[in-house]
Each structure stands twice: as structure tokens, then as C-alpha cells.
Structure 1
Amino acid sequence: MKINAQEILSELKSIVFSRTFDAILPPLVFAIINNFFTLNYALIFAVFTALAIIFKRIIKKENWKYSFVGLFIVIFASALAFLTDNASSYFLPAIFSSSLLLIITIISLILGKPIAALASHISRSWPLEWFWRKDIKPAYREVSIFWAIFIAFRLSIQILLFQSASPLFLAWSNILLGWPFTITILIISYIYGLWRLKNLGGPGVEEFKNNKKPPWEGQKKGF
């Protein structure tokens, strides 16, 4: 089975777009300003950075909705840091989201409805019945287990750094274990998933939708 780089880049582009920049810049600005100045200055600069990103998107007529959600997250995180007078509290929402995602992933595995399959169904609108086939679901279950291990690793790092009260290290860990690490995980998941589907011998999603009888060619693109 051959998977070229262009195919992987196309898959990632449909997921990531330009959100990476919007997500990592405000926390990084917060951590750097807090390291050299005061907490209040750091909070102000983080909020203004998020606002600047929104204005930039609007002026360039780009999609600004994700940036708008990011602004609310920045305001909420800033409020936590201000109320607790603790810069590390700014990163509590990231720790909470990692915890919630880990719980959801584990529950999905226990219920036999792996989150990788549900995520693919939502993003691609492929029929759920295809994902639950015995010759399809194992691939998504194994990828979901892989995701759970990654999320647990990221969460443990976040908690350790939060306890050490190091906002700058927290910021860098959230960046490095955020999109860069997530992109790596998605690439590995995509390559492994297609390989596993091929080995399971089930039908491709188009073959399933067209009620094609075996022998099947299997899934060739998309996971």
C-alpha cells in the first residue's frame, strides 16, 4: 500500500488550516510577558493578541470564527489567572480539556464506539454502519487506544509543569505537545489506519455504500 506525502498533506490541510497560529500565539505571548514583567501586563497582552488575530482575519476576509472562540478561551484563562493571582492558572483550561478528552476517549473504547471512528464520521459524513463492521472497527479501536496513550502522556506533562509553577515551560509544552505533536499523531494514525484496514480485508466505504460484494479492493484513501 502506497501513501504519498501529497495525500497526507491534503488530509492534514482539511483539518488544521491556519488554526495553529491562532491557538499558540496568545499563550506564548502571555508566558513571555509574564516572565519579564508582571501578571497583569501578561494578561493584557494575551487578550490584545487574541483581538489582533481576529481583526487580522476579518481584514483579510478569512474565517474568523475559530479566532473568536479562541478569544473567549483567552479571556476565561486570563480571568482564572487574575482571580487566583497565579500565572500558571492561565493554563488550567488546557489541562481540563486534556482530562475531558482522555475521559471521552476511554469511555468510547469501553462502549465499543471508538472516538477515532466517531471523529471520522463527523468530519467525512461516512455511514456509521461501515465503521462498526467487524472487518473495519478494529482499525479505529487501535487508533483510539493510541490517541488515549498520547493524551495521557500530554496530560501528565501538563500536570507536572503546573505543579512546578512554571508558566513559561507550560506554554512551550502546550505548544510542542499541541499542534506539532497532534499533527505527528494524525500522520501516524492515517498511515497505520489505512494499513490496518487493508489487512482486515473489509470493503472500502464507497464499496460499502454501493453494496458491492466481495472480493473488495478495500479503503484506498481517507481514514
Structure 2
Amino acid sequence: MGGLGGLVSSTLPILVLIPVNNRFGLMWALIASLTVAIAIFVWRLARRENLQPAISGLLGVAIGAAFALFTGDAKAYFLYGIWMSLIFAVVFIISVVVRWPMVGVAWRGVNGHDMTWRMVPGARRAYAWATIAWSLVFLARFLVQRNLYDADATNALALARIAMGWPLTGVAALLTVWAVRHASKAIEDASPEPADSVESAPSEPG
């Protein structure tokens, strides 16, 4: 959730990190990335927009910067995101296996609905397909970016992080929209019809 703002918050610091690192070194690159993340947060705060994407982006940049600073290598900036992708992939797959598809849990929970949708097979299947799509996105990110990390291809790793962010997220988001609509229709169709009120006829005078 975070939407377009979340993607921007996570992408701009990377666009700054690599060129600054190549030209001025790791420390200046980390300072530049953190500065961009803080600027995004302040901008959204000033405009009174939803701060969740900016907070998530700032936290992600801070953790990545800490990894890079600790190891002294710019590629470690991406290590947190790589392993989180694997964790999300596993969690999403398990959620489908146990019939609590994560997309359904997240969507219905965020919107304040109960979990009775799990009793509707059509809704559960729709959310399961969307959850599988997200798990494949996370798994693809992990496999590709882990290989680039092992190959010390920092520039390619940054490009892969961006390329596998926007396009794959867009595809998964479209499937999520379909799942939400399909699940909502299935839930509506499964809801019992309200009983028609029967007006009692006036008794005849006897």
C-alpha cells in the first residue's frame, strides 16, 4: 500500500546513490540518499499528504545506509531489500497454503472489514491468485538481485531494483484490482437476501 508515493520514495534515493557513489564515494552517496529521503518526508508533511510511504521509504533508506556503512560497500545498501523480498515471498506463499491469502487479509483489514470472506470460495480464490502474483514478484526480485549482489554488480543491482519495482508492481497491482473486484462480487452474491416484509392484512369485522 503506499502506491505511487511509495514507489517514488523508494526509487529516488537509489537514483541518487549510484552516481554519487561512483563520483564522490560511499559516504557522500549515503548522505545524499538520506537527504533525498528526508526531503520527500518533509515535502509530504508540508502538503499534509499520507506519510506512510515517506516513512517507509525513509526507514528503508536508513537501514540500507546502515548496512552499507557497516560493510563499507555500496552494494550492501540493497541487502535488506533483497532478503525482505525472500521473506515476503515465503510468507505470501504460506498464506495461500493455509487459506489465508495475504492480499485478502491486508485489503479487508485495511478497509476495516471482517474476515468472513474466507467462507466464500470465489473470494478466497481471487485473493489467492493475487497473493500468488505478489509472491512471484518478490521471488523474482530476490533471485535476480541476489545473483547481481554475489557478482558485485552494484550498478546493475541498482538498475534491477528500479526496473523490478515499477513494472512488476504495476502488473501485480492490476491483478490485485481484478481480485478485489471479483472477490467483492462473490461476497455480494453469497450474501443472503433480506426477507421480504409481509404486511398483515386487516382483519374483517366479524
Alignment partner of 1:63 is 2:50 = yes
> Residue in 1 aligned with 2:20?
33
Give the structure-1-normalised TM-score.
0.76
The one of 117, 127, 134 equivalent to 2:121 is 134
Maintained 8 Å contact 1:22/1:50: yes
User: CA–CA distance in 1 between the matches of 2:60 and 2:116?
Assistant: 36
Work out which of the two has the higher radius of gyration on C-alpha atoms and give 1 or 2: 2
User: CA–CA distance in 2 between the matches of 1:123 and 1:53?
Assistant: 24
Alignment partner of 1:205 is 2:199 = no
Maintained 8 Å contact 2:6/2:57: no
Using the aligned pairs only, state the percent identity: 26
Q: 1:91-130 to 2 correspondence within 5 Å?
A: 91-130=78-117
Give the structure-2-normalised TM-score.
0.81
User: CA–CA distance in 2 between the matches of 1:63 and 1:141?
Assistant: 28
CA spacing shift, 1:147–1:19, aligned 2, 3 Å: closer
User: CA–CA distance in 2 between the matches of 1:150 and 1:206?
Assistant: 30
User: Residues 50-101 of structure 1: CA distance to partner in whole angstroms, max 9, x if unpaired?
Assistant: 1222222233333334323422321221111111111110001111210110
The one of 21, 24, 33 equivalent to 1:46 is 33
User: CA–CA distance in 2 between the matches of 1:205 and 1:93?
Assistant: 38
- Structure 2 gaps, min length 5: 195-206
Shift of 1:207: 5.0
Shift of 1:148: 2.0
Letter in 2 for 1:30: L
SS at match of 1:18: helix
What do you get for the CA RMSD once the two structures are aligned?
2.5
User: CA–CA distance in 2 between the matches of 1:124 and 1:182?
Assistant: 21
Maintained 8 Å contact 1:35/1:168: no
SS at match of 2:49: coil
Aligned residues: 194
The one of 126, 131, 134 equivalent to 1:144 is 131
- Structure 1 gaps, min length 5: 1-13, 214-223
Letter in 1 for 2:132: I
CA spacing shift, 1:35–1:100, aligned 2, 3 Å: same
